[in-house]
Amino acid sequence: MFTFLHAADIHLDSPLRGLETYADAPVGQIRQATRRAFDNLIDLAIAERVAFVLLSGDLYDGEWKDYNTGLFFVNRMGMLRKENIRVFLASGNHDAASQITKSLRLPDNVHLFSTKQPETLLLEELGVAVHGQGYDKRVLAENIARTYPQGLPHHLNIGLLHTSLTGRQGHEPYAPCSLDDLMAKGYDYWALGHVHLREEVSRSPWIVFPGNIQGRHIHEPGAKGATLVRVEEGRIATVEHRDLDVLRWSLCRVDLTDCTTMDLAIDAVRQGMETEQAEAEGRPLAIRLQLVGKSELHAELHRDSALLTEEFRGLAAGLGEMWLEKVVFATQRPVALAVDLGEETPMAELIQAIEGLDFEPAALMELVPGIGELQKKLPPELLHEGGLVPASISEASDLREEIKEMLIARLLGQGGRR
């Protein structure tokens, strides 16, 4: 019986994004998060007395800023060497972008797979065959899985591969291959990398994306870590996720449908934050607050979004080691405006015109000359680099809706909260 550990997408020294603009942000934890998570990986490997560690690509985050990133990795590999733990590493697309990586001398317990063709390493004392190939360039469009050798008889066969398979949202289609391509090789375990969300693609055979070991922004929420595999009598007995992250990202979704006063809404937000904090199990937490539901407070929420954002930020700070990354005001009116105002009233026609506006930045400036003044009043969460531009294309629709709702709320309202 023995165990091995499978991790991927370490992205050593990659910065955490989304909190750096806030004065109370945990700067030290942000800078050291990926290293501390990697230390947790090393500690887990030693504590579990694993036979070997598999690293399925993107150990680094492209070109290093200095050589210390590599020295840190070599030092941690030395710690595993003292414990007689071997390491098998297949480079990924980010590793291929680094020139320094190619000249880094690794300890003799670490094997870096060839980038030219698949290699097979035999661990005869364990009855294991490890197959793998790394990237020699950042963009690898070929299906290299098809060139992997067939599994060896009377061995536990493991394949290391940095791939998007048939495609995963948010990830470039590198080293594409199908489930059938992998199954055809007759391996017992495919140790995949590249996709940052943990996924057990198959259990017969085991085909696993362990996810990255540390979330780096709000689009990588939830528990992050590695996969611990136990082998008994030459067969895989258990496959378990183990948490390694040191700072967790979370989407805190709060339904305000039943909240009839702002005090009740704030209490609901506090309860939501406390729930997320409990699930983080003592880790510092960065949250994105999303307010949803058909709420009587819809207009007030949008009208006073800047003030409320600061109030919610204060709630998070009061809970300790929690930071509010952003507030998304996504509630809906309980009754359509046309019903309240009358479909043919001048006010209804004006609001209908606002709802139909093209809210691309240039068109918005032309159609609404006073938008410059409104822009100064918008909360920073709606701005990017000082302009009405979403931080990503995926957020563009939400941004437009928030601006429309703010305009309508100001049109209908008679001032903010007292």
Q: Looking at residue 64, what is its pLDDT?
A: 58
Q: CATH no. for residue 228?
A: 3.60.21.10
Tally the domains of the chain: 2
R_g of the chain computed on alpha carbons: 26
Segment (H or E) for 130: strand 128-132
Shared domain check, 407 and 351 = yes
Q: Are residues 10 and 122 in the same domain?
A: yes
Residue 345's domain comprises 248-412
**pLDDT given for residue 393 in this prediction:** 44
Same domain? For 195 and 318 the reply is no
Q: Is residue 270 part of a domain?
A: yes
Q: Do 260 and 382 belong together in one domain?
A: yes
Tell me: do 271 and 210 sit in the same domain.
no
Domain shared by 71 and 214, yes or no: yes
| Separation of alpha carbons 292 and 39, rounded Å | 38
Distance CA 293, CA 280 (A): 25
Same domain, 132 and 268: no
Q: How many residues does the chain have?
A: 418
* 24 and 154 fall within a common domain: yes
Q: Using the 3D structure, point to which of 243, 277, 296 is the last residue of a domain.
A: 243
Where is the domain boundary, 243, 266, 288? 243
Q: What is the pLDDT of residue 376?
A: 47
94 and 219 in a single domain? The answer is yes
Please check whether residue 405 lies inside any domain of the structure: yes
Tens-level pLDDT at each residue, the chain (418 residues): 999 999 999 999 888 887 766 666 767 777 789 999 999 999 999 999 999 999 998 898 766 566 788 899 999 999 999 999 999 999 987 776 555 555 678 999 999 999 999 999 999 999 999 999 998 877 888 899 999 999 999 999 999 999 998 877 767 778 899 999 999 999 999 999 999 999 999 999 999 999 999 999 999 999 999 999 999 999 999 999 999 999 999 999 999 999 999 999 999 999 999 999 999 999 999 999 999 999 999 989 988 999 999 999 999 999 999 999 999 999 988 865 545 544 555 555 555 555 555 555 555 555 444 455 455 444 444 444 334 444 444 455 555 556 555 555 555 554 344 3
CA atoms of 389 and 365, how far apart (whole Å): 12
Same domain, 308 and 399: yes
Q: Identify the DSSP state of 138.
A: S
* 10, part of any domain: yes
Residue 417 belongs to some domain of the structure = no
Positive or negative, the CA dihedral 261, 267, 273, 276 is negative
Query: How much is the pLDDT for 384?
Result: 43
- Give exposure, 47-84, as e/b (b: 16+ Cβ within 10 Å): eeebbbbbbbbbbbbbebeeeebbebbeebbeebeeee
Q: Tell me if the bond preceding 205 is cis, omega within 30° of 0.
A: yes
Instruction: Looking at the structure, tell me whether residues 300 and 233 fall in a common domain.
Output: no
Same-domain check for residues 210 and 75: yes
Of 243, 261, 286, at which residue does a domain stop?
243
Q: What is the pLDDT of residue 348?
A: 55
Burial class (CB in 10 A: 0-12, 13-18, 19+), 252: buried
Does residue 418 belong to any structural domain of this protein? no
